[in-house]
């Protein structure tokens, strides 16, 4: 491999990691500001102008907090669990395309790290790994509440990942490929009328994706693994300092990643007006669509009450899974009729 290509991969990887870690910090501020607005409050406004330094203050606080490890805990797994949770969230975006090919310093640079032909399979496989960190965190803490949170998370992941995977089948069938770039390009031209071919117009698949992805990342109203009223914070109850911050970071990075996947697979990704003429608009369109989905996730948290756990599991198996199978059938029929 030529040195220029190695440097290109290294720069792209560093950019993705910096974007996700910086995005995590300011997503917390975004969420607190949106929640405050929805609940007629002010929100963070003390640290820096308009509260913009609040994430920095939170980070400094967590760095200097004392870290405790329970005496009877499995210390190795207790330390490894947050790392196992956060790494999958950081490596999933490697296959998400930000745009088409751009000319930078006379060199043709594709705006993605990797375009593999099984990109959707990569996403579903890697996203499943994070639950191991949550289960190990609950078990290694030697705390019954933490263990119950870990078991809830594993059961929830198994239940909702089936529907999540099936929601991707429609876009894959219509694109005839599991590669993310192919799926985006199959969603229409970049012009003003390109949006009429977005996979958003498979509404059942898009709704199933939203519901299952919220359950997958343990966000309200599906945050049963960390239900403070029942489990005193669940699987991370024994964690403090930067180890707790890693769990926190994993959740918010997964919010960003899930929104990027939704924008890519269902909302046309980087496509939009004038992308053919100015390729740099591609990342802008992707970010706008991602922020819209992030706002939707925050809005859901502010609006809906938490499910009872037995109803959450019943909903996944008895409602969402049959609907996902129905969506696959509809997508297959439409592909045969219109895809030729």
For residues 24 and 148, what is the distance between their CA atoms, to the nearest angstrom? 27
pLDDT in tens, 140-172: 888 888 888 788 888 888 888 889 999 998 888
Spatial distance between the Cα atoms of 19 and 17, rounded to a whole number of angstroms: 5
Alpha-helical regions (H) of the chain: 3-38, 54-64, 75-91, 119-140, 144-167, 169-175, 180-185, 203-216, 228-231, 241-266, 281-303, 309-314, 321-339
Supply the pLDDT for residue 282: 86
- In the 8-state DSSP scheme, what is residue 42? -
Residue for token pair 């330390």: 79
The pLDDT assigned to 228 comes to: 58
Tokens of 217: 């990342």
Residue ranges of the chain whose pLDDT lies below 70: 1, 189-201, 224-233, 338-340
> What is the spatial distance between Cα 259 and Cα 20, in angstroms, rounded to a whole number?
12
Beta-sheet strands, E only, within the chain: 101-104, 107-110
* 141: CB partners within 8 A, 6+ apart: 70, 73, 78, 147, 235, 237, 238, 239
Query: How far is CA 132 from each of CA 143, 150, 235, rounded to the nearest angstrom?
Result: 17, 9, 12
Omega cis (within 30) before 273: no
Task: Provide the 10 A C-beta neighbour count for residue 82.
Answer: 24
Question: So what's the pLDDT on residue 193?
Answer: 47
Terminal alpha carbon distance of the chain: 40
Give the whole-angstrom CA distance, residue 141 versus residue 280.
47
Question: Where would I find the beta strands (DSSP E) of 48-158?
Answer: 101-104, 107-110
The answer to whether the predicted template modeling score (pTM) of the entire model surpasses 0.85 is yes
Nearest to 28 by CA among 220, 298, 274: 298
Tokens, residue 16: 């993705």
Nearest residue to 297 (alpha-carbon basis) of 223, 228, 242: 223
Six token digits for residue 327: 């969506």
Residue 54 CB neighbour total at 10 angstroms = 21
User: Which pLDDT score is estimated for 190?
Assistant: 45
Closest to 256 measured CA to CA, from 24, 17, 12: 24
Cα distance between residue 198 and residue 266, in whole Å = 6
What is residue 317's DSSP assignment? I
Residue 251 has a pLDDT of 85
pLDDT digits (tens, 9 = 90+) for 67-89: 788 888 888 988 898 888 889 88
pLDDT value, residue 310: 82
- Name the residue among 33, 22, 25, 27 with its Cα closest to residue 61: 25
For residues 87 and 196, give the distance between their C-alpha atoms in angstroms, rounded to a whole number.
Answer: 36
Length of the chain: 340
């Amino acid at each position: 491999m030529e040195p220029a290509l190695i440097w290109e991969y290294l720069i792209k990887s560093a950019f993705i990691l910096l974007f996700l870690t910086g995005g995590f910090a300011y997503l917390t501020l975004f969420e607190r500001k949106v929640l405050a607005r929805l609940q007629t409050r002010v929100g963070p406004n003390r640290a820096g102008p308009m509260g913009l330094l609040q994430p920095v203050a939170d980070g400094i606080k967590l760095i200097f907090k004392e870290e405790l490890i329970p005496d009877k805990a499995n210390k190795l797994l207790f330390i490894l669990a947050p790392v196992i949770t956060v790494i999958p969230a950081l490596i999933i975006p490697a296959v998400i395309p930000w745009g088409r090919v751009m000319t930078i310093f006379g060199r043709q640079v594709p705006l993605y790290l990797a375009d593999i032909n099984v990109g959707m399979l990569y996403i579903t496989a890697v996203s499943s790994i994070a639950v191991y960190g949550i289960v190990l965190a609950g078990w290694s803490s030697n705390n019954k509440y933490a263990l119950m949170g870990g078991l809830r998370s594993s059961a929830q992941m198994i239940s909702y990942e089936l529907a999540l995977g099936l929601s991707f089948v429609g876009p894959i069938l219509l694109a005839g490929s599991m590669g993310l770039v192919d799926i985006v390009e199959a969603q229409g031209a970049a012009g003003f009328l390109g949006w009429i071919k977005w996979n958003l117009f498979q509404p059942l698949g898009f709704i199933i994706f939203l519901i299952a992805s919220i359950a997958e990342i343990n966000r309200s109203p599906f945050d049963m693994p960390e239900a403070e009223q029942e489990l005193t914070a669940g699987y991370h109850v024994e964690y403090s300092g930067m180890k707790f911050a890693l769990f926190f970071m994993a959740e918010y990075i997964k919010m960003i990643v899930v929104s990027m996947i939704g924008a890519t697979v269902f909302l046309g990704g980087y496509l939009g007006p004038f992308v053919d003429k100015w390729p740099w608009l591609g990342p802008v369109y992707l970010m706008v669509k991602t922020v819209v989905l992030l706002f939707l996730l925050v809005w859901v948290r502010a609006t809906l009450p938490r499910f009872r756990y037995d109803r959450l599991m019943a909903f996944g198996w008895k409602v969402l899974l049959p609907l996902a199978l129905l969506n696959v059938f509809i997508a297959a029929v439409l592909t045969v009729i219109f895809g030729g």
